[in-house]
Each structure stands twice: as structure tokens, then as C-alpha cells.
Amino acid sequence: MKTYQMLINGEWVNALSGEFFDDLNPYTGELYAHVAKGDKKDADRAMSAAYKAREPWSSMPPIERSRILFKAAQLLEENKQEYAEVLVNEGGGAIGKVMFEVVQTVDLLQTAAGDCKCILGETFHSDPGKISMTMLSPKGTVVAISPWNFPLILSMYKVAYALATGNTVVLKPASETPVIGLKIGELFEKAGLMPGALNILTGPGKVLGDALIGDHRCSLVTLTGETGTGRHVAMKAAENLKEYILELGGKNPLIILEDADIDFAVNAAAFGTFLHQGQVCMAVGRIIIAQEKSEEFSVKLAEKAASLSKGDPTLHNTVVGPLINDNQVKKVDALVRDAVAKGAKLLQGGRYEGRVYDPTVLMDVRPDMEIYYEETFGPIASIIPVKNEKEALDVANDTVYGLVAGVITKDNHKALYLAEGLEAGMVHINDTSIDVDASCPFGGYKRSGRGREGGRYSIEEYSEVKWVTIQKKEKIFPF
């Protein structure tokens, strides 16, 4: 068992209070690490350090910033195993999930490194007497707050692009997965990042969040987390006139039309529903399927769910590991019980041992069941048969969320009809709902958030736009 300190101004330090909190292994329930428990005073120290580093970091040539990000990518690639082990031990991710996360994070760092030299302005030809253009400059000091479910890549989306665009950062990782956040600090330290450009603060979300967002030196807050947390962060940001990016929850539909290949659809639904025990913002939350195929599909999905290895995430064949904590187990089980009590057919699962919930398949899920609308964050497939693509679209949009959707059909017209009509920030045709690409816009409609992350979309979010003009000849004023 190790003890971890926070990173402030290039130094590894205890909290000023001297307090620590427990970081538990979700599978064994054992103590994994003791982690410094920061509070308001530590938030102030971290903001001071980040504020002081703004000028030297933002004035560094983009090629130098790029070299540091590339170096971080290289170091992460060389030390994949070490990072994967942390993700398994404190996050409960199965080995396949965590390796996928590490490899995607290397790609993200490389993409952000390349983008350091693509921070582009525009020129306008509206007035021949002057050169009129935009210049981008960093926002300043970014407060980044990240969740526990994909803690490495989701922290890095914020850290990599905030640094690439010349901002300095205070990162507050989730209290369930603080060590992976601190390892991001270690990675950049080894990559040669200057002190203060990235600070990592661990401790309770509300205390640190309120202190960081309320600090006059914070320019922008970026959160990935629950919609309820997003609402609180947005209100705090508004109170302090701060800008914010929010990546929040989802109840994502996978629409399967009558012409779909059912075996392919079963694989897409299983991956989208059961990856990381369903604890994925992009997880398939509702399977909306053409009535005539729903019987065959549900039987095959139940067989597939029963065949998945579950249990110890350190074993190489495990697909479904533990849920993050006991509260999550209780919440998932209550949703399943409520659905069954109201008439859903339990085709598979519905049981748990410790924190490992069986991959579960529910047929005929209806709007009066809580699971129809609630983000589940558990390995539960909810099947909703529909008559046609029009009804599929109505059901898909019948949610407060709007993160992502998958559509499976061989009919391009129907696929495009759905892509246009779906109220979601991302639509993947002939795929499941889970996909990431560091260059593409990641984000949602409705209560799934505001703003987009990835590639040039992150550059825009993390930059201020300045309109600059140069007169070509002396201007004549009317008086």
C-alpha cells in the first residue's frame, strides 16, 4: 500500500491539513492507497502556481509544447503496463478495457501534440483598406474535473488540449481514482513540463470544485461527470461569470432495424452494454429493435450475456469486473427489480456477488419502469421493441439526455433519416454507441452537456478569439 502526495508548483506535497483519504480496490474491497486530502487552502496554492506559470507556458513556442506532449505520449506507451495496473486496481476495469484506454490515451496525446502547431486564425476580406484577422490566445488557467470510469483518457482530454493551447491547468481527479490522476502529473514531470503548468489536487469534489471555480484566477472550468454535478458546476461558474465545458451523462439508444444482421447486432449490443460493466457514458442504455426481430435478438443476446467471463479484473479472460462501489450495486439492482416488478422479462442475470453484477438482459422495457429513463451505469441490457423507424426515433429521443446513438441497418436512407433526427451529439451507423477519436467532436445535446472536446473543437473551447485589424493606409475619419 502506497501513500500519494499532490503535485503543486512542480513539487509533491501533503495537504496543508496533513490529512489523507482511503483509495479502495473495488473488487477486493481492500485499501489500495492513502491519498492526500486537499481542501480550500490547497486549492488556493494550486491556483497560485497555475496562475504564475501562465506567462512562461503560454509564451513557449508551440513546437516546444508539442515536444513535451509527444514525450508524454512516448513515456505512456513505454509504461503502458504500469498505468494499466493502476486502472485495474483502483478503477476495477478489466484488462481489455484498461489497455484500450491506455492505447487511446497515447493516441490522444499524439494528436494534441500535432495540434499545437494548428492553432489557426482567419482573415476577412470585408474591407479592402485593412487587413482584418482573428488570433487565438489561451483562456488562461483551466480547472479540469474528471470522473472515475475512464479516468486516464477523460482527464487527458482536458489536460492535453488545455496545455497544447497554452493554458495552465489544475486537475481534480475523481476520489475513486485519484492515483491515475497523480500519475498524469508524474508523466508530464518526466516529459519536462515546467513547474506550475499542471497541478494535481486530490480530495472531495464539492469542497475543491467550489474553491477552484470560485477563485478569481480560474478562467474556464471543464467537467466530465454526472448531470447533477454538471448542474452544480454550471451554477457555480455562472455565479462567478466563468466559462464552462460539461461532458455529462447519457441514456444512449442502439437502434436495430428489421434488415439488420442479427448476429452482428448482438455483438454490437453486448459490447456497448457490457464494456466496463456498463459504466461508460457512451454505453448502450436502450436497445430499440424492430418488433419482428426482437425475439431472435433477445434470445441470442441472453446467450451471449451468459457466456461472458465475470469476476476478477486482473484475470485476462474477464470481461465483466466489479461495479465501482456498493451504492452503485444497490442502485443497479433496484432498477432491475423495479423493471421486473412492472412486467419486464428477465432473460438473463439479475444477480450479483460482491460488487460483480451479472450481465443482465431485460425484455419489454417500458416508460413506467425507472430503468427506461435513468442512466444505469451497470451491465443491464434494456430491450424495447418498436413497430418502425419512426417509432424508433420517437423512443430514442424520449430522454433528457443526448450524448450518442448507434444505428444498425443496411438501408442508407433510413440510416440518414435517423442520423438527422436523433437528438444526440454523436451518431454511429452500423456500429455500437461507444467510439472515440481524438480528432473528432466529442459531446452531447440536451442534459448530456455543453461544448465539444477533441481536435480543433478543443482548440476552440480552450482559446479566446481576438479580432485584430491593420490599416493599409491612413484612415480618414468623418470629424
Residues of this chain that interact with ligand NAD (CB under 6 A) are 145-150, 154, 172, 174-175, 205-206, 209, 224-226, 229, 232-233, 247-250, 281, 375, 403, 444, 448-449
User: CB–CB of 303/359 below 8 Å?
Assistant: no
> Can you tell me the distance from the alpha carbon of 453 to that of 459, in angstroms, rounded to the nearest whole number?
8
What is the distance between the terminal CA atoms of the chain, rounded to a whole angstrom? 76
Give Cβ neighbours of residue 434 (< 8 Å, ≥ 6 apart): 271, 272, 275, 280, 282, 283, 284, 404
> Would you say 232 or 342 has its CB closer to ligand NAD?
232
In the complex, the smallest distance separating the C-beta of residue 211 from ligand NAD, rounded to whole angstroms, is 10
Q: Establish whether 247 is a catalytic residue.
A: yes
Nearer of residues 297 and 377 to ligand NAD, judged by Cβ: 377
What is the rounded distance in angstroms from the CA atom of residue 393 to the CA atom of residue 396?
Answer: 5
Q: Say if strands 31-36 and 168-172 run parallel, antiparallel, or are unpaired.
A: unpaired
DSSP annotation of 140 reads S
Smaller CB distance to ligand NAD: residue 333 or 375? 375
In the complex, minimum distance from the CB of residue 121 to ligand NAD, in angstroms, rounded to a whole number = 28
* Closest to ligand NAD by CB, 180 or 386: 180
221 vs 383: CA distance, rounded Å: 37
Rounded Cα distance between 31 and 33, Å, is 6
Instruction: Say how far apart CA 240 and CA 227 lie, in whole Å.
Output: 20
Smallest separation (angstroms) from ligand NAD to the CB of 260: 26
Catalytic residue among 90, 247, 389, 461: 247
Minimum CB distance to ligand NAD, residue 44 (Å) = 16
Separation of alpha carbons 344 and 361, rounded Å? 10
Say if residues 397 and 418 touch (Cβ distance below 8 Å): no
> Measured at CB, which residue is nearest to ligand NAD?
209
Nearer to ligand NAD, 88 or 281 (CB): 281
CA 284 to each of CA 197, 280, 434: distance values in angstroms, whole numbers, following the listed order: 37, 9, 8
Q: How many CB atoms lie within 10 A of CB 434?
A: 22
Q: Least Å distance between CB 238 and ligand NAD?
A: 13
Instruction: Identify which of residues 163 and 434 has a Cβ nearer to ligand NAD in the complex.
Output: 434
Q: Which residues are catalytic?
A: 247
